[in-house]
Structure 1
Amino acid sequence: MTTRHVADITDPVTGEMTTLTAATESELDQLVDEHLEQHYPTLQSEDPEPAGMG
């Protein structure tokens, strides 16, 4: 039996649900990160680590 890793992401505005699946936990983490960055990009003013400041 193959184990699948699943994440359900619900849009807080529309209520639309997206289900992501992957063969491994690390692949799922990457898919979730990519999905969130694509749909909810971090504004530069909210970025806790500004580039060139360290």
Structure 2
Amino acid sequence: KASDEKLQGITYFSRSTAQKAETRASWNYWDVVTSAGVVAVCILFYIYFW
């Protein structure tokens, strides 16, 4: 069985505070806008070709 140290940070709920801060610092407003745009285009294609 793996130790708790090896399992730390593998799942979403086992992240440390430092890992949460690092993840949050890795994206910004433009990343969210771009992702929303890509999702919107996918939805529009899906609706158009339905």
TM-score with structure 1 setting the length: 0.31
Which structure: larger Rg?
Answer: 2
Q: Which of the two has greater helix per residue? A: 2
Higher relative contact order at CA 8 Å, sep ≥6: structure 1 or structure 2? 1
Larger strand fraction of residues: 1
